[in-house]
Chains A and B, each alone.
Chain A
C-alpha cells in the first residue's frame, strides 16, 4: 500500500497560494483611466453646444479653450464630468448629515432596507421552490413553466400593480418594494439551486441508497452540501437584481425617499448630476452587496474543505 510520501509532493505543490491580484491592478487601472479619459472627451463634446449657447445668450465671446473648460463645470450638463459626480457624491454622502433628506446615505439606506428584505424573501422562496421542484416530479412539470414565464413579464408593468394592490389592503412602506425585488431575485436562486441539488453524480446517490438513507438524510448530507457552490452563484446574481427591483419599486409610487426616488426627482428637475450620483451610489451599493455574498461564499466553501484556487 502507498506510503505517506506519495501524498506529500502533490500536497506541497498545491499549498503555495499564488496571489494574482497584484498582477491585476495594472490592467484594471489602465482600463479605468481609458474610460475616464473617454468620458471627459464625451462630456466636452456633448455639453459643447449648451455651453456655447449659454455664452452667446450672455453676449460673451470666449475662446475654444474657455468653452471646453466651462463645458465641464455646467450646473445641468447633458453629461456630467466624472469629477462633478465625485463632488456631488462627496457633498451628499459625507458633507450632508445622514438625517437630512438630501443625504444620499439616507436614500441609499431606504433602498438597501427593502433590497435586503426582498433578497431574504426571494432567496428563501427560490430555495423552497428548488427543493420542491427537485423532489416532486409533478411539481417540476407544473411549476417550472410558471417560474420561467414569471420572468418574462416586464417588472415595470407589474410593479405599480403590486404597489396599488398591497396599498389597498393597507400594506405600505418597505414590504411592497421588497416583494417586487423578491419577485425578481428568486428566479436565479431557483434555477441555480435546482441545478445544484441535482448535481450529485449517480454513484454518490447510489451510495445513499445502499445505506437505505431517507429522503431527508439524502437531502441534508448529500444534495444540500453539493448545491452550495451553485447556491452562491445564484445568490450573487440575485442580490444585484434585488437592488434593481427595489429601485424599480420606488419609481411608480412617487416614493419620497430611496435611490429610485432620487433618480426620479433628478430627472423631473433636470438635475443630471444628481441622477448620475444616484446611479453611482446604486452601483457602489450593488458591488458592496455582491462583495459580501462573495465573502460569505469564500468562508462557506473554505469551511467545506474546498481545494484552494
Chain B
C-alpha cells in the first residue's frame, strides 16, 4: 500500500471517530438533548440472497437523525443509500438490527403516515391533473373535498406551481413535475420528508433552481429531510449533515456536519472555502470507500 493509501485510511479512521463525536457536538447536543431522535437506527443490516451468493446491502448501520435536520446520503451506486431510505419508509424489510421512526417501528410510522416520499421520477398519475395528483394522498386519508382543495392550493403556492392546477403531468416540464411530486409528499404535512435522488434526472440548471427552492421549503416548513443523492455539491449545499456511504457491504463511513454553512444559503456559497472544505472531505470519504475494491 502506498503512503497516500495509508493517509486515506487514517482519514477514514478519523472520520469514523468524528461520526461518534457528531452527536456530542456542543451546539447539536444543546438543541437536541431533550428530544429523542426522529430516526434512530442501530446495528441495521439488510442482506438478500442473489444468484451468486448473499448481497450485503446494508451492514451494521448506526445513525441518529434529530428533528429538523437535513440529512444527505451520498455514495456510489450499490452503497445502500436508497435501501436505507426505503427501510425507513418500510418499503424494504431489514434482516437485522433496530430502527425507530418517530419513536415507533417503520410499519407503525407508515400506517400513521408520518412521512412523505419523493421518488427518483415524479411518479405522477397521468390521468389526474396536477391538483388532483397532489390531492391523491388526501383522498386516500379520507379528507373532505373542500379541505383537500384548500391544501392542494397551499401546496401549489409553496412549490410555485400556481396556475398549473388544471394541467395534466405531460403538459409540465420535468422539473415542474418533480415539484408537483414534492407538493404531493408535503400535502398531508408529514413530519418527515424522504427524497430518493429526486433531481437525478434533471439538468444542472433546473437542479440548482430546485435545490435553492428545496432549502427555502425546508426552512419554511421545518421538516426533517432525508435526501439521497450522488452529487457532492448538491449534498453539501443542501445538508445540515452529510452521511457518506460505501458499497460491498453497504455501510456508513463518515458523517460530516455541514451546519457551519448556516441555514440560509444561496448558490454563491459553493465558492466559499468552508463549502469546498466540506466537499473535499466528502470526496475523500467516497474515495476511501472505493479503495476497498482495489
Contacts and interface: CB of A to CB of B under 8 A. Distances in A.
Interface stretch (A53-61, A120-128, A202-210): A202-210
Nearest to A205: B123
Interface stretch (A4-12, A80-88, A190-198, A266-274): A4-12
B209 interface: yes
A7 B117 contact: no
A225 interface: yes
B123 A210 contact: no
A257 B129 CA distance: 50
Contact of B170 (A203, A210, A307): A307
A305 B126 CA distance: 7
B171 A212 contact: no
A200 B171 CA distance: 20
A225 to B, nearest CB: 5
B93 interface: no
Given A6-B173, A7-B171, A221-B139, A1 B127 contact: no
B136 interface: yes
Contact of B168 (A2, A211, A305): A305
Interface stretch (B45-53, B107-115, B143-151, B242-250): B107-115
Interface in A1-55: 1-2, 4, 6-7, 10-11, 14
A1 B172 CA distance: 13
Nearest to A10: B173
A150 interface: no
A204 B164 contact: no
B140 A213 contact: yes
B176 A210 contact: no
A203 B121 contact: yes
A207 B117 CA distance: 7
A210 B117 CA distance: 7
B210 interface: yes
A168 to B, nearest CB: 48
A206 B127 contact: no
A210 B91 contact: yes
B171 A1 contact: no
A7 B172 contact: yes
B129 A305 contact: yes
A6 B176 CA distance: 9
Given A210-B110, A221-B136, A2 B173 contact: yes
A222 interface: yes
Nearest to B124: A204
A6 B174 CA distance: 10
A151 interface: no
A299 B56 CA distance: 50
A263 to B, nearest CB: 43
Interface string B211-246: 011000000000000000000000000000000000
Given A217-B140, A225-B125, A212 B210 contact: no
Interface in B124-168: 125-129, 136-137, 139-141, 159-160, 163-164, 167-168
A2 B176 contact: yes
B110 A212 contact: yes
Report, as a range, how many residues of chain B touch the other chain: 35 or more
A221 B120 CA distance: 21
B85 to A, nearest CB: 11
Contacts of A136: none
Contacts of A201: 123
A304 interface: yes
B128 A206 contact: no
A7 B173 CA distance: 6
Contacts of A157: none
Interface string B85-119: 00001110000000000000000001101011101
B37 interface: no
A153 interface: no
A169 interface: no
A25 B8 CA distance: 73
Contacts of B113: 211-212
A212 B173 contact: no
B28 interface: no
Most buried by B among A2, A203, A212, A307: A2
Given A217-B140, A305-B168, A1 B160 contact: yes
B120 A203 contact: yes
A105 B127 CA distance: 40
Contacts of B19: none
- 8 A-B pairs with the lowest CB-CB distances in the bound complex, closest first: A305-B168, A304-B127, A203-B123, A210-B117, A203-B119, A225-B127, A211-B140, A307-B170
19 contacts: A1-B159, A1-B179, A1-B210, A2-B173, A6-B175, A6-B176, A10-B173, A11-B171, A203-B119, A206-B117, A210-B91, A210-B110, A210-B117, A211-B113, A211-B137, A212-B110, A217-B140, A305-B168, A306-B126
Given A201-B123, A203-B123, A210-B115, 10 more contacts: A1-B212, A1-B213, A7-B173, A7-B176, A206-B91, A207-B119, A207-B123, A208-B140, A211-B141, A228-B127
Interface of B: 89-91, 110-111, 113, 115-117, 119-121, 123, 125-129, 136-137, 139-141, 159-160, 163-164, 167-168, 170-173, 175-176, 179, 206, 209-210, 212-213
